[in-house]
C-alpha cells in the first residue's frame, strides 16, 4: 500500500504542473538513489499543530516551495473563513537555506488571497515575529524556521492573533484546511504585490524598548563596569537584536564570536546550531577564556532558546542546562519583584517536564505556579486565560526556552539574554557571587534537583510504529518499581487520569489529552515518557532530588543523584 502511495506521489509530480528542475531531480534520484526518492515521497509532510518541519528537498515529504505553498493556501482559506476580510498576517524568517524564498512565497500567496502582509526586510528572531503579530494587530503570523535542527532542515510555524502558536481549535482547523490542498492549481501563487508591506527598524525599536523595560536592577549593570559577556548567535537571527539589546541594558563589554556572527544556513562552524549541545559553544568558550568573560550566551538560529556557560574560579566554564537556568531566572524574578502577600495576583508557568524545584520556589514566594503540557504555546495559552485577571511574571521550559513579561507570547532569547546577564551582574556586584554560587544557595535552601533526558531516534515508518508500541506497552503494564523504589503514582495525560497506586484511586488531569506518561516514585523521583511531536523520537525525562545536609558537599549529593538517575535509566533499558 505504502509503495502505491509513494508511486502515486511521484507520478503526480512528474506529470503535474511542477517546475522542470524538480522533475529532473526526481529522475536523477530514480536512477541514482531510489531509497532517497522513496523517503521523499512515501508520505506527505504533515502540517502538525505547530506547522511544518522537515528536510529540504524535492518531494511531498520534504520542505520546498510546494509544501510551503500548500500550507499557506490552507492557512489563507482558514483565515478567510474566520475573519472574512481586512485580514493581516506578519511574516519573518531565520538564516536557514531557502528561508528568504519561503517567506516571499508565503507573502505572495497571502497577498493573492487579498490578505495584507507585513514582511520583515531581513531575518528576525521568532520572539519579534510574535511581538509584531500583537503590535500590528494581525490575525496570524508565519515564522520560517526549523529552530535548532541541523542544516538539512527548515520549517514553517504559524501564530494566531495573540502572538502564540496555534492551540485548539485553530490548530486542528488549520490542519484540515491545509490537507484539502491537493494540487498546485489550488494555490494562488501570485497577485496584489501592493498588499505586501515591508517592516523593519520601526518594529525593532518598539520591541527593544519593551525588552529594556523588563530590567529589575539597571544599577547593578552600571556598577559592574568590568562585567564581560561573550555572545554567539550560532549563525542565526540573534545577531540582529541581542547585541543591541545588551547595549541598551548598559553592558559595555560584549564580545561577539565573529565566525558565528555570519548568517549562514549551512552553519559552517557547528555540526548542529543547538545551544543545548556543548560542541556548539566551543568557539564561544574559547573566546571567553581569552577575554576572561564572566558569562557566555548562545542563541539558536531563530533566537528563541538560549544556552549559557559561567566562569568558575579556576578559569574554566561550567555549562548550565535548561532546568538550571530556569531555576535561576524564576528565582531572580520572584525574589527581586515586589510582591504584596495580601494582594498577590502574580503567576508563573512551566511545563510538566521542567524541574519541580520551580514549584517549591514559587510556593515559597506565595505565587501560583501552573504546570502545562510540553510546548510553549501552552504557556502562552495560560497567559491568555488570565489576561486582565492576573499578572504573568515568567515562564519557561527545560529545553532552554524562557519568557519574561507578556508582550511576546513565545519563548524569547533576546530578553532572556539581557535578564540572565543582568542577574549575573546583580549577584556579582551585590553579593560577590557567580551564578554557580547562587545556584548552590538555591539548592541548599530548597532541594538539590538533578535532571537528565534520553532521546531515542526511530527513523521511518517502522520507527514511528515502534515508538507507539513502546507507549502502548507502558500503558498496558505500568512498572511497579523504578530505580529500586516503588511507583506510587502514574499520570497518563492521554487518558487524562492519575492513578494512585497505593489507594488504587484515580484523579482527573485538567489538561488537554496528550500522549505522555509520567511515573512518580516514593522518593520523589519522576520519569516522563513522551514521543516528540515534530521528529521521529521518543524522549525520556528523569528527575531526582535530595535535601542537602549541613555537612554534605554538593559533590557528595551529586554523586548520590547520579546513581539514582542511572538506576532509573537501567530499569527502562536505556543503559
Give the residue numbers annotated as catalytic, written as ranges: 147
Nearest to 264 by CA among 301, 305, 303, 306: 301
Rounded Cα distance between 482 and 472, Å, is 18
Q: Which residues contact 324 (CB under 8 A, 6 or more apart)?
A: 439
List Cα–Cα distances, 225 to 117, 250, 486, in angstroms: 44, 9, 53
Q: What share of the chain is helix, strand, coil (3-state, %, to 5)?
A: 40, 25, 35
Alpha helix stretches (DSSP H) within 292-321: none
One-character DSSP codes across 51-68: EEEEEBSSSTTSBSHHHH
| Nearest by Cα to 304 from 129, 50, 122, 68 | 129
The closest alpha carbon to 423, from 289, 258, 249, belongs to 249
Supply the DSSP symbol for 321: -
Nearest-angstrom CA–CA distance, 160 and 166: 6
Full DSSP string of 459-520:
-HHHHHHHHHHHHHHHHHS--SEETTEEEEEEEETTTTEEEETTTTEEEE--S---S-EEEE
Q: How far apart are CA 250 and CA 418, in angstroms?
A: 10
Residue ranges of the alpha helices (H) in 257-302? 282-291
CB 504 within 8 A of CB 544: no
Q: Where are the beta strands (DSSP E) in 181-256?
A: 196-199, 228-232, 253-256
Peptide bond before residue 116 is cis, with ω within 30 degrees of 0: no
Amino acid at each position: 500500500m505504502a509503495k502505491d502511495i509513494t508511486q502515486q506521489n511521484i507520478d503526480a509530480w512528474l506529470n503535474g504542473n511542477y517546475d522542470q528542475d524538480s522533475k529532473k531531480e526526481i529522475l536523477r534520484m530514480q536512477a541514482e538513489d531510489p531509497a532517497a526518492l522513496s523517503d521523499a515521497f512515501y508520505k506527505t509532510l504533515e502540517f502538525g499543530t505547530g506547522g511544518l518541519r522537515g528536510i529540504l528537498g524535492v518531494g511531498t515529504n520534504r520542505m520546498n516551495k510546494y509544501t510551503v505553498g500548500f500550507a499557506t493556501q490552507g492557512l489563507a482559506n482558514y483565515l478567510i473563513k474566520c475573519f472574512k476580510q481586512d485580514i493581516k498576517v506578519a511574516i519573518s524568517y531565520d538564516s536557514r537555506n531557502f528561508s528568504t524564498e519561503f517567506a516571499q512565497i508565503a507573502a505572495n500567496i497571502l497577498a493573492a488571497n487579498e490578505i495584507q502582509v507585513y514582511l520583515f526586510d531581513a531575518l528576525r528572531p521568532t520572539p519579534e515575529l510574535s511581538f509584531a503579530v500583537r503590535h500590528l494587530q494581525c490575525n496570524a503570523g508565519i515564522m520560517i524556521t526549523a529552530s535548532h535542527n541541523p542544516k538539512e532542515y527548515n520549517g514553517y510555524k504559524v501564530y494566531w492573533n495573540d502572538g502564540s502558536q496555534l492551540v485548539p481549535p485553530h490548530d486542528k482547523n488549520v490542519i484540515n484546511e491545509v490537507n484539502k490542498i491537493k494540487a498546485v492549481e489550488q494555490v494562488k501563487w501570485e497577485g496584489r504585490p501592493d498588499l505586501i508591506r515591508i517592516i523593519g527598524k520601526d518594529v525593532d525599536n518598539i520591541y527593544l524598548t519593551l525588552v529594556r523595560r523588563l530590567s529589575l536592577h539597571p544599577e547593578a549593570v552600571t556598577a559592574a563596569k568590568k562585567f564581560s559577556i561573550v555572545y554567539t548567535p550560532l549563525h542565526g537571527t540573534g545577531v540582529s537584536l541581542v547585541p543591541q539589546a545588551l547595549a541598551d541594558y548598559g553592558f559595555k563589554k560584549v564580545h561577539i564570536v565573529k565566525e558565528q556572527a555570519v548568517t549562514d544556513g549551512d552553519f559552517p562552524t557547528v555540526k548542529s546550531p543547538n545551544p543545548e549541545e556543548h560542541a556548539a559553544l566551543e568557539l564561544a568558550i574559547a573566546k571567553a577564556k581569552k577575554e576572561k568573560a564572566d558569562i557566555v550566551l548562545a542563541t539558536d538560529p531563530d533566537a528563541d532558546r538560549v544556552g549559557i556557560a559561567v566562569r568558575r574560579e579556576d578559569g574554566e566554564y561550567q555549562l548550565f542546562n535548561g532546568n538550571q537556568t530556569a531555576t535561576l531566572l524564576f528565582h531572580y524574578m520572584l525574589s527581586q519583584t515586589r510582591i504584596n502577600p495580601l494582594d498577590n495576583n502574580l503567576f508563573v508557568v512551566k511545563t510538566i517536564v521542567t524541574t519541580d524545584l520551580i514549584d517549591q520556589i514559587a510556593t515559597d514566594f506565595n505565587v501560583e505556579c501552573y504546570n502545562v503540557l510540553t510546548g510553549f504555546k501552552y504557556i502562552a495559552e495560560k497567559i491568555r486565560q488570565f489576561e486582565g485577571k492576573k499578572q504573568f511574571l515568567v515562564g519557561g521550559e527545560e529545553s532552554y526556552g524562557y519568557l519574561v513579561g507578556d508582550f511576546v507570547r513565545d519563548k524569547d532569547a533576546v530578553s532572556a539574554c539581557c535578564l540572565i546577564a543582568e542577574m549575573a551582574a546583580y549577584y556579582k556586584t551585590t553579593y560577590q557571587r557567580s551564578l554557580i554560587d547562587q545556584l548552590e544557595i538555591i539548592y541548599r535552601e530548597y532541594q538539590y534537583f538533578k535532571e537528565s533526558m534520553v532521546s531515542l531516534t526511530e527513523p521511518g515508518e517502522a520507527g514511528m510504529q515502534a515508538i507507539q508500541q513502546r507507549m502502548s506497552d507502558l500503558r498496558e503494564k505500568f512498572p511497579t518499581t523504578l530505580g529500586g523504589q516503588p511507583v506510587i503514582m502514574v499520570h497518563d495525560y492521554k487518558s487524562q487520569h492519575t492513578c494512585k497506586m497505593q489507594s488504587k484511586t484515580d484523579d482527573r488531569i485538567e489538561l488537554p489529552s496528550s500522549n505522555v506518561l509520567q511515573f512518580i516514585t516514593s522518593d520523589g523521583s519522576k520519569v516522563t515518557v513522551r514521543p516528540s511531536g515534530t521528529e521521529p523520537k521518543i524522549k525520556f525525562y528523569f528527575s531526582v532530588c535530595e535535601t542537602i545536609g549541613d555537612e554534605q558537599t554538593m559533590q557528595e549529593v551529586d554523586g548520590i543523584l547520579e546513581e539514582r538517575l542511572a538506576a532509573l535509566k537501567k530499569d527502562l533499558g536505556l543503559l
